[in-house]
Amino acid sequence: MLQVKGVLCTLLAVFLLFLGGAGIAGAAPKMVIDRSHGQNADVSGFTSVLVSKGWEVILDEPLTEQVLSDCSLLLVTQPSTEFEANEVAAVRSYVQNGGGLWVLCGAGPQPLNALPAAFGVSFTGGLVQSFDANWEPIQTLTIPVPSALQSHPLFSKPSGVTQFVYQSGTSLFSPANPDSSDPAADLQQTFPLVVIAGDVNAYDDYTWAFNPVVVVAAEVGAGHVLFMGDTSLVGDKPLSGLSAQATREAVNEPLVDNILDWLKKPEPELPAEPDPITVTINLRPWNPYNAINLDSRGFVRVAVMSDSSFDAANVNPTSVKFAGGSPVCSKPMNVNRDHKKDLVLVLWIPDLKDLTCDSVEAVLTAKTKDGKSIQGSDSVQIVPSKKCKKQADNGKDCGGKKGK
């Protein structure tokens, strides 16, 4: 087992983008599968599934705020050493900030609850079905999803998950008060969460209990947490190949897909680009007619004007685009004698690719030196030229000539 663990604990960073040919999607969501708390179950099969679904999977990272900062989903399955207070704090903070946490644990005499306790739940280590059935290796425990919960995103897709299966239902939850007569009801009063109870003939710490909790899902801060009392949902290599395991995986696949979607930290929304600041420009600053001859291989000036709300000195000249061209040089000058210097830009007319013989307006865009977008426009008069005359001739109906 140690050898297997050693192999698994080497950093496995698999990065696959299933883009369908496009190279424009963002980075794959990153899942950290915790291996730093004595876990030695083989999750290689589940890792392969995740990679095929477009995840980047990282094993055996220390659970620090830095490691979790770009993590979309943290998976903790069957730890055998307890979480330290600083790790719990890091995970709690990560979830508060939008991260997803999925914890799966099976039965055990001493469940490790430092992490679940940070979210108000705990594993009891008890069993959710009869003790004898629990030891049947091919046992499959079907858990119905209560109809009231079937519209929850965990179950509503693709066509509704109405039940799922555990390997044998090896553990359960209880609220902070383990003596509660109705743990599920207690939890629902405490958290905005999904609670699913197991069958009524269930063990709770080796005593009969009614409706032991088998799933807890909750929204915590901006993130989501999910606690489940069975590890077989994320695969268990020694069991794969057994028909019961294959059956469980097939039945649970839609649920697992929903879980990944629901827990995944949302992509940060890019701040909307603010509308550009409208500025006044003056094409041919000392000429009111703004004439341009598209045959010309000369230069034309355009001024970005300063006024009481905008200082043209803030314009980054290299960012300027005017009618498709970039200025060849620029100079602060006061064009209109208002004691405010304007920015005069010089452009080569053949560069003004956006101008056509029909243009009546030309647009200038630029960024300020602190990155804000600005935009302005001025009228333009395209003077008759050979180029425009030729275009006009080509545009005429040549009807009769065709076919001669």
- In the complex, the smallest distance separating the C-beta of residue 305 from Ca ion, rounded to whole angstroms, is 6
Alpha helices in 199-242 (DSSP H): none
Tokens 């088998």 label which residue?
214
β strands within 49-130, DSSP E:
56-59, 73-77, 100-104, 122-123
**Any idea what DSSP says for residue 288?**
T
Helix (H) or strand (E) holding 303: strand 299-304
Contact status: 338 vs Ca ion (CB under 5 A):
yes
Q: Measured from the CB atom, is 53 or 284 closer to Ca ion?
A: 284
Among 53, 157, 237, 284, binds Ca ion (CB under 5 A): 284
Among 342, 344, 374, 376, binds Ca ion (CB under 5 A): 342
- In the complex, the smallest distance separating the C-beta of residue 285 from Ca ion, rounded to whole angstroms, is 6
- In the complex, the smallest distance separating the C-beta of residue 367 from Ca ion, rounded to whole angstroms, is 21
Enumerate the β-bridge partners of residue 242: 240
Stretch that binds Ca ion, among 5-13, 65-73, 144-152, 333-341 (CB under 5 A): 333-341
**Any idea what DSSP says for residue 240?**
B
- In the complex, the smallest distance separating the C-beta of residue 260 from Ca ion, rounded to whole angstroms, is 59
Residues 288-327 that bind Ca ion (CB under 5 A): 290
Stretch that binds Ca ion, among 71-79, 157-165, 291-299, 334-342 (CB under 5 A): 334-342
Contact status: 336 vs Ca ion (CB under 5 A):
yes
Residues 29-48 that bind Ca ion (CB under 5 A): none
C-alpha separations of 394 from 356, 397, 400 in Å: 14, 8, 14
Distance between CA atoms of 108 and 298, rounded to whole angstroms?
85
If binding means CB under 5 A, how many residues of this protein chain bind Ca ion?
A: 8
β strands within 316-369, DSSP E:
321-322, 329-333, 342-348, 361-367
Q: Measured from the CB atom, is 49 or 304 closer to Ca ion?
A: 304
Among 334, 365, 373, 391, binds Ca ion (CB under 5 A): 334
Stretch that binds Ca ion, among 64-72, 160-168, 279-287, 292-300 (CB under 5 A): 279-287
Chain centroid to CA 222: how far? 13
Alpha helices in 148-299 (DSSP H): 183-190, 243-263
Q: Measured from the CB atom, is 294 or 312 closer to Ca ion?
A: 312
- In the complex, the smallest distance separating the C-beta of residue 292 from Ca ion, rounded to whole angstroms, is 11
Name every residue whose Cβ is closer than 8 Å to that of residue 133 and which is 6 or more positions away in sequence. 139, 141, 168
Residue 80: count of CB within 10 angstroms of its CB: 11
Among 321, 331, 340, 387, binds Ca ion (CB under 5 A): 340
Distance between CA atoms of 36 and 25, rounded to whole angstroms?
31
Stretch that binds Ca ion, among 9-17, 136-144, 247-255, 287-295 (CB under 5 A): 287-295
Q: What phi and psi values does residue 339 have, to the nearest 5 degrees?
A: 65, 10
Q: Measured from the CB atom, is 145 or 344 closer to Ca ion?
A: 344
List of residues contacting Ca ion (CB under 5 A): 282, 284, 290, 334, 336, 338, 340, 342
